[in-house]
Amino acid sequence: MVEADTYDDAAIASVCQLRGLQTLWLAFKNYLIGGPTITCGQLALGSMASLTELSIEGISPAAIKLPSRCKLHILAQPKDLARNWWAGAAQAGQLALLDLTLEKPDPGRAMPNFLAALGCTTLSWVTQHVGSFEDDEPCVFAAPAFAALSALYLDATTLCIFIHASMRLRALHIVAGNLTVGFGNSEALATSLEDLSLVYMWGNCGVVEVALALQRVGKGVEKVVAPMEEGYEGICTRQDLVYCGADPWPCTCGACLGCLGKKQVTP
């Protein structure tokens, strides 16, 4: 794990000498969600043949080169992805996680254009508004753009999305003040879903639709009982997976302290 205020060429070269590493977490030392991030030169890590998991937090490099077996996990803001430094990893199918956090001010209701090009398997998106119920303009998750996506985490004040019949999600977790969700084929989605939680102050009939579909394929659904802010309710498949506003989404990067701690075997 490396935390620094800056990443100059000398620092990056020093990191590349650690060729026995399997996991690496590079972070901006003073990074706060919604706060400033930093830029740096090219992260040429291709010589680190043992590296299998790379997590980047609050850093926007000019470019990145990874060993062929390495998965990339990005924790960033929308502006950090504008330089397209991630494109090579995405085209190679190496982008595992995108944890996208709110910019201040909020960039708007539309889905960022780059999301459809990322090809990540896990997307965590925290913002204020996603899609528009009033204008009947949901954010659409559909293949082929999101064919690789298996786990979707969304947190917004107002959220309007449509999950196309082509999607085969394994996990779907949503927290929203105002939730409008539609499904192209709730029965097919219920077959692939392993974990679900929908927590909201106001939800539309899509919540009931997916709950009934899960029950029809023999997957239990229950009312959320985890402590939430006043006025929130919801449904879930497992209480221990329900997201509460003060807690972060579960990380899957495999390189941070939390993930490394999960890998340790208790004697």
pLDDT 10s digits, 139-187: 999 999 899 999 999 988 899 999 999 999 999 999 998 999 999 999 9
CA distance 168 to 193: 8
User: What are the residues facing 187 on neighbouring strands?
Assistant: none
CA distance 57 to 77: 10
15 near 26, Cβ under 8 Å? yes
SS3 61: strand
Give the dihedral of Cα atoms 189, 176, 127, 241; nearest 10 deg. -60
CA distance 250 to 244: 11
Does the pLDDT at position 267 exceed 60? no
Does the pLDDT at position 203 exceed 60? yes
| pLDDT single digits (tens) 110-144 | 677 778 778 899 998 888 888 887 777 889 999 99
Q: What is the pTM of this model?
A: 0.85
Encoding tokens for residue 16? 């590349």
For the ranges 78-87, 179-188, 200-209, 238-247, the maximum mean pLDDT occurs at: 179-188
CA distance 192 to 183: 13
11-15, 173-177, 241-245: segment of lowest average pLDDT? 241-245
Encoding tokens for residue 161? 């999305």
Domain coordinates of the chain in residue numbers?
A: 1-97, 106-267
- According to the model, what pLDDT value does residue 169 have? 95
CA distance 164 to 41: 39
